[in-house]
Amino acid sequence: MEIIKRTKIIDLLNTGTRLDGKVCVKGWVRTRRGNKHIAFIALNDGSTIHNIQIVVDIARFGEEFLKPVTTGACLCVNGLLVESQGQGQAAEIQAEEIEIYGTADPAVYPLQKKGHSLEFLREIAYLRPRTNTFGAIFRIRHHLAYAIHEYFNKQGFFYFHTPIITASDAEGAGSMFQVTTLDMDRLPKTEDGKVDYSSDFFGSATNLTVSGQLEGELGAMALGGIYTFGPTFRAENSNTPRHLAEFWMIEPEVAFFDIRDNMDLAEDFLKYVISYAMTHCKDDIEFLNKMYDNELIDRLNFVVNNQFIRLTYTEGIEILEKSGKKFEYPVYWGADLQSEHERFLVEDHFKCPVILTDYPKEIKSFYMKQNDDGKTVRGMDVLFPKIGEIIGGSEREADYQKLLNRVEELHMSLDSLWWYLDTRRFGTAPHAGFGLGFERLVLFISGMTNIRDVIPFPRTPKNVLF
Ligand code: 4AD
Ligand code: MG
C-alpha cells in the first residue's frame, strides 16, 4: 500500500482540502450499504461528528476481501477525494487501496447501526465513545475543559494544584472515601480498641478529597486569584441523575472578593464557557439538539444573553411557600432546598437562571462568612434550568474568632484544620470563591439528562465498571 500521510476527516471536510487529490483516511466503519457492484462506507475517525463516504468498486477489491468491512471495523483507505455524486456530503473518497486494521464480527460486536438506548450504552461504556452521541459529548467535554483554563488564564488566575489525598474534610459533611494501606483483616488497635492510624501509610487517617477549597484558599491568600480543576470524591449514597461519586470540580478562590464580586465572576465565567462551546462545538450541539432536546440551543442562548436573577434564600422560600405547589419535600425557612424547589424557581417562576444567597447557617458549611443577623451566612448557589444547583460558593469567614467559634460549635477537629484557621491569624483578608461541578456543566450544555452520560466512565454506588 502506498504510504500517504493520514488526513483527519474534520480537515478533509473543511474547506481548504484540494479536491481530486490523493488522500489517506483512517477510521471506524459506521455503516456499509450498497449493492453487488458498489459499496458506500461511512467512515468516522472521531475528529468530528461527520463521516466521510468511501465509495468502493467491489470488482476492484473482490467480494471476499470486503466481507469483513462491517460496522465497527477499522480501516485505512487511500483514495481520491472527489466531489460527491450523491446527496448529503460535499466530498467523498473513491477507494484505491484499503487495509483492514481490525474487524468487528457482527455476531458479537454490540454496537450495530440502529439506535441503542442510553441505558444499554451505559452497560457498554467502554465502547460508547464510538457512537455519534458520545463522540459529541466527549468532544464538548474537551472543549469546555480547554475554555475553562482559557477563561481563568485570561483573567490572570493561576492554576493551583490541590491534593487528592487529604487528612481533612473540606465540607465538614463526612461523606469521604477512606484511603489506607492497613491490612483490613488485621487492623492494628490502640489501647482503647480504636484503629491505630499511626501505623498507616501517612501516620494518620486519610481520605480522598471532597473539595480543593481549603487548600485553594491558601493559594488565594498568596497568589491573589487561583483556580483548581481536579477530581473530587463523595461517598454519598445519592443515586440521582445529578450525582457522581467521582466528579471533576473547578474551584476559583479570590482574595479581596466579596459575595457580589463572586456572583459576577460566576455569571461571567458560565456565560464565557457556554458561548465558547456554542462556537467551537457547533456541529455536536446541533446534533444533540436534533436528536435529544430540540430546545437545547434556545436554552443555551437564553442563558448567555440574560442576566441571572439574584435573590436571598429567604425571598426564595417565600416564593416557594406562596406558589401553592405541592412539593415532595416540604418547604419552610431552614429547609435545605431540593432539586424540585430549585427547578421551580428557575423553570416555572423566574424562567431564568437564579443565584440564591444568604442561606441559613445550619444547612451550609462551616467556612462561610457569618451575617450580622446571627442566622444566615454569605453563601451563594447558582441554579440552572434542568440542572438545579450548578455552582455552590460563598464569601469566606475571614475573622479568626468567628471561624474558630463555628468550628467548635460543630465539634470539628482542630487537629486537621489548624493550618486553615492560621490563614485568619496571619494576614487575613476578605475573600470568596465557588465550585462548579464540571459534569453538571457538561450536562447542561449537552442537553443530556443523566450525569452518567457525560463522563466517560461514571462512578456511582455499586458501579465501578471499566
Ligand atoms: O456545593 P458543593 O458541595 O461546594 C463545595 O464543594 C465548595 N467547596 C465549593 C467552593 O466554594 N469552592 O459543590 C460544588 C459543586 C455543586 O454546585 C455541584 O455542581 C457539584 O459541585 N457537585 C457534584 N457534581 C456531581 N456529583 C456530585 N456528587 C456533586 N456534589 C457536588
Ligand atoms: Mg452545594
**Cα separations in angstroms, 153 against 149, 209, 212, 252:** 6, 24, 19, 12
Question: Please, which residues bridge with residue 100 across strands?
Answer: 75
Q: pLDDT confidence of 169, banded at 50, 70, 90?
A: confident
pLDDT at 264: 98
Residue 172 has pLDDT above 80, yes or no: no
Asked which of 7-16, 49-58, 181-190, 315-324 is least confident by mean pLDDT, the reply is: 7-16
Question: For ligand 1, is residue 437 a contact (CB within 6 Å)?
Answer: yes
Q: How confident is the model at residue 88 (pLDDT cuts 50, 70, 90)?
A: confident
Say what the pLDDT of residue 16 is: 54
CB 171 less than 6 A from any atom of ligand 1? yes
Say what the pLDDT of residue 114 is. 74
Is the beta carbon of 438 within 6 A of some atom in ligand 1? Answer: no
Burial 367-400 (b: 16+ CB within 10 A, else e): bbbbbeeeebbbbbbbbbbbbbbbbbbbbbbbee
Residue of 148, 211, 249, 368 to mutate, ligand 1, most atoms within 8 A of C-beta = 249
For residue 310, the model assigns a pLDDT of 98
Q: Specify the pLDDT at position 126.
A: 96
Strand pairing report for 354-360 and 309-312: parallel
Whole-number Å distance, alpha carbon 241 to ligand 1 midpoint, is: 15
Instruction: Give mean pLDDT, residues 115-136.
Output: 95
Q: Whose CA is nearest to atom 17 of ligand 1?
A: 391
pLDDT of residue 171: 82
Nearest CA to ligand 1 atom 20: 437
Residue in 139, 164, 142 with CA at minimum distance from that of residue 228 = 164
Quick one: pLDDT at residue 15? 62
Mean pLDDT of the chain: 95
Contact by Cβ (8 Å): 358, 377: yes
Range scoring the smallest mean pLDDT among 61-70, 87-96, 404-413: 87-96
What's the CA-to-centroid distance between 404 and ligand 2, angstroms?
Answer: 22
Could you tell me the CA-to-CA distances from 324 to 243, 327, 331, 335, 378 in Å, in that order? 29, 9, 11, 17, 28
Cα gap 370→361, rounded to integer Å: 8
Q: Which atom of ligand 1 is nearest to the CA of 236?
A: 28
Mean pLDDT value of segment 235-264: 96
Q: How confident is the model at residue 85 (pLDDT cuts 50, 70, 90)?
A: confident
Nearest to 449 by CA among 115, 122, 146: 122
In terms of Cβ atoms closer than 10 Å to its own Cβ (0-12, 13-18, 19+), residue 245 is: buried
Pick the residue whose CA is nearest to atom 27 on ligand 1: 243
What separation in Å is there between the alpha carbon of 193 and the centre of ligand 1? 36
Asked whether 393 lines ligand 1 (CB < 6 A), one says yes
CA of 236 to the centre of ligand 1 (A): 12
In the reported structure, the alpha carbon of residue 154 is separated from the centroid of ligand 1 by a whole-number distance in angstroms of 24
Q: Is the CB of 172 under 6 A from ligand 1?
A: no
At residue 406 the predicted structure's pLDDT band, cuts being 50, 70 and 90, is very high
pLDDT band for position 79 (cuts 50, 70, 90): very high
The grid cell for 440 is 453538571
Average pLDDT over every residue of 92-104: 97
* Least confident window among 108-117, 160-169, 315-324: 108-117
- In short, whether 143's Cβ falls inside 6 Å of ligand 1 is no
C-beta of residue 42 within 8 angstroms of C-beta of residue 28: no
**Which atom number of ligand 1 is nearest to the Cα of residue 391?**
17
Confidence class of residue 370 from pLDDT cuts 50, 70 and 90?
Answer: very high
- What integer pLDDT is reported at residue 17 of this predicted model? 59
Q: Which ligand 1 atom is nearest residue 251's CA?
A: 12
Q: How many angstroms separate the alpha carbon of residue 207 from the centre of ligand 2?
A: 20
Residue 391 Cβ inside 6 Å of ligand 1? The answer reads yes
